[in-house]
Amino acid sequence: MKSVAEVLVVGAGIIGASCAAALAACGCRVRVLDAGLPGASAAGMGHLVVMDDDPAELTLSARSLALWRELVPQLPSAADYRNCGTLWLARDAAELDLIDAKRQRLDAQGVANQPLNAAATAAAEPALTTLAGSLEVPGDGLLYAPVVAAWLLQRSPLIEFQRARVTAVEGRRVRLDDGRWLTADAVVLAAGLQAASLCPDLPLVPKKGHLLITDRYPEQVRHQLVEIGYGASAHASSGASVAFNVQPRPTGQLLIGSSRQFERPDMAVEPAVVGQLLRRALDFLPGLTHTSLIRGWTGQRAASPDGLPLIGAHPDQPGLWLAVGHEGLGVTTAPATAEAIARGYSASLRRSTWNPSHRRVSRPRRGARYADPVYRWRTPGDPSRQPAHRRAGQERQSRRAPFGRR
């Protein structure tokens, strides 16, 4: 069967669009297939944030933020990019210890940050309740992902977009809902949660999330505000959790999150969860009692069992490349994910075989600008096939309370 493109990308969200743009920049002829189904790119906050709950996550997100900054001068105005920075909030001495640990990890990665005491925190964000302190990460930002994804797909004449629903993926070919098979030299699967039905061996689970947005008001906050306990909620493996996370939108509105629920595949807005979000938000921003909410919505995040994305070549389907499982960090990590896919695919063309050495992102060598991320497919939940530091991390995670950190 004749190839319709050098690379087929399944999914036109921020991950798929970034992969298509990176492959086109390498000279590949790319066709992007998307069914137009609701996805995480449109439902999320669009927060560009360096996360450090895992060494792999830190390396991937830090690299991505650097790539986003290179793109900023070219972004269309409708992308609503803002370099708002993130303020990580601590309520007491125990959380100040978490702030200090985060500061040390960010310092080790070379990520600019500034600890603030209680007075400096109040000066930076007067609307906050009295807190013990905070950590400012000035390089973080926000953007509107759907606009950016559409813009990325229009950047190169080597990218062709096709509205089509893919119903099966087999290595280098995909089947459309009209029964036709399309073949290419490679397929990149970047379809979010839908990827699990297209490639059933993928260990993806849905995490439902709620977001709320207020009416327009004069500026109330300047930073993205996140409680330092956010990470435990993000990496909880069961149950439901909420954590304070508020984003100032360029429109003067506040976007309020965030929640996570396992095994809730529906998209219904749940009043009980909305109530939890509001109570948590009021703990930090008591002035929200004087604002009006105009809308709430939900989305489904595609998460892997250990919280790290699946990026790289599928071990059992030659020609199939994976860019899935980013959960709540798809927008943040899209550029570095795309870079890894493009570099890996290019390397596979130069060598007869390409065997990624491990699944997590490698640490940069001392003095190196960036170490190429390479990954290893492994069986989720099989400790014998996981690096020792991940096993230890999962054991620590299993002892954490499921509520409170996001």
pLDDT category at 369 given cuts 50, 70, 90 is very low
> Global pTM?
0.83
* DSSP alpha helix (H) spans, 230-301: 230-234, 271-284
pLDDT at 189: 98
pLDDT category at 396 given cuts 50, 70, 90 is very low
Contacts of 365 (CB under 8 A, 6+ apart): 371
Q: Is the pLDDT of residue 160 over 90?
A: yes
Summarize the confidence of residues 269-293 as an average pLDDT: 94
Contacts 24+ apart (CB under 8 A), 386-389: 386/306, 387/358, 387/360, 389/55
Summarize the confidence of residues 340-352 as an average pLDDT: 84
Q: Is the pLDDT of residue 50 over 90?
A: yes
Collapsed DSSP state (helix, strand, coil) of residue 30: strand
pLDDT category at 307 given cuts 50, 70, 90 is confident
pLDDT at 38: 76
Q: Is the pLDDT of residue 104 over 60?
A: yes
Dist CA 21 CA 151 (whole Å)? 10
Summarize the confidence of residues 55-64 as an average pLDDT: 95
Q: What does DSSP assign to residue 402? A: S
Residue from 396, 406, 189, 397 nearest 311 by CA: 189
pLDDT category at 2 given cuts 50, 70, 90 is low
